[in-house]
Each structure stands twice: as structure tokens, then as C-alpha cells.
Amino acid sequence: VVTKIETVLAPSEFEPTEKEVAEYQTGQNIPRYLDIPRLEVHARVRESAVDMNTLPMPNIIYDVAWFSGSGMPGFGGDILVSGLSYGKTKPGIFANLDSLENGDEIIIERGDGEKFTYQVADLQIIDAEEAENKLSGVQRRIDDKETLSVVTVRASEDGGEYDSIVMLRATLK
């Protein structure tokens, strides 16, 4: 069970080239890309593991971390991913995650090219102090459907301290 979010002090702000993104590979059932059409997000999904109940954050603001101990797309479980809203000087991949609404779509493409579309069903913004008590709630399926859970920490646009957490859950369409 995840109860904390990893602190990333200085994530890289070097944006990968289109070629680097296009050539990115994963195992056939492993998430490869995450797309959010409404936000014009297309990101590589990096495999990560939870250490000591702490959800990892990617070390590049343009990537997404997938918790390898969670579900895989197409297998009926709960898939858990995380990303950054801001680096020190630039917005991260999830800078506008909190603007999504119920019904918005998120697409995960696996390494084998199969795509899975999820619809936003729940979005919560919680204070950083409440995170330890509420993070475990993001790891549950909704209505017994395959669920994608997305977590990011929010910070001011000037790269200031992270002050709250966005927890989003979406169900397989």
C-alpha cells in the first residue's frame, strides 16, 4: 500500500526528442505511452517500483512512472501511475491534470501496441498533510472495473514547494 510520495528534488527538464519518444520500447504487456487528448499529453511510461510504501515519481518532468506492483492494462486490475506537475523552471507532464473532468479520456498504449481507453470518474485535490491518510484510497477499483489511478503533486508555477496532491481515477471504457 502506498502511503507517501517520493520527493524529487531536481527532476530533469530536458525534453526528449520526437525520435527518442517514438523509439521508446517496453515489454508487450507493460504500459509504453500515456495520452491525454484534451491536454495534448503524450508521454513515455517508465517502469518503477514502490520502495517502503513510497510512490515513485519520474526523474524527468516529461515522463510518467508506472508502479510495477500495480495492474497492467487489459488485465482487470488497478493501474497506478504518477508524474510531475512542475520542475524547477518548466511545467511538467501533469501541470494541468487537475483541469480534467469526469468523462475525459486517458489512453494507455502497451508495448505490444494495444491501446486501452479510460474515462475520468473521480478527481480529488488533497492537501499534502492529508496525503498519508488518503493515498491508499487511490489504489482501489471503481465498480469492479479496471481502473487507472493517476497521482501528481502540485506546485506553484515558479517551481516552489509542492502544496497538494491530485489523485485521479478513471475506468476502462
* pLDDT, tens digit, 9 for 90 and up, residues 88-131: 888 999 999 999 999 999 999 999 999 999 999 999 988 877 76
Report residue 126 as a C-alpha cell. 488533497
pLDDT of residue 25: 97
Local confidence band at 139 (pLDDT 50, 70, 90 cut-offs):
low
Per-residue pLDDT tens for 19-60?
Answer: 999 999 999 999 999 999 999 999 999 999 766 667 778 889
HSE, CB side, 13 Å, CA atoms: give it for residue 74: 14
Q: Supply the pTM of this predicted model.
A: 0.89
Q: Please tell me the predicted confidence (pLDDT) of residue 62.
A: 96
Residues 152 and 5: their CA atoms lie apart, in Å, by 9
Distance (Å, whole) CA 126 – CA 173: 26
- 102 contacts 121 by C-beta, under 8 angstroms: yes
Quick one: pLDDT at residue 55?
74
How does residue 10 score in pLDDT terms, banded at 50, 70 and 90? confident
- Would you call 131 helix, strand, or coil by DSSP? helix
Report residue 73: phi and psi, to 5°: -55, 135
CA 146 – CA 43 distance, rounded (Å): 21
C-alpha cell belonging to residue 20: 527518442
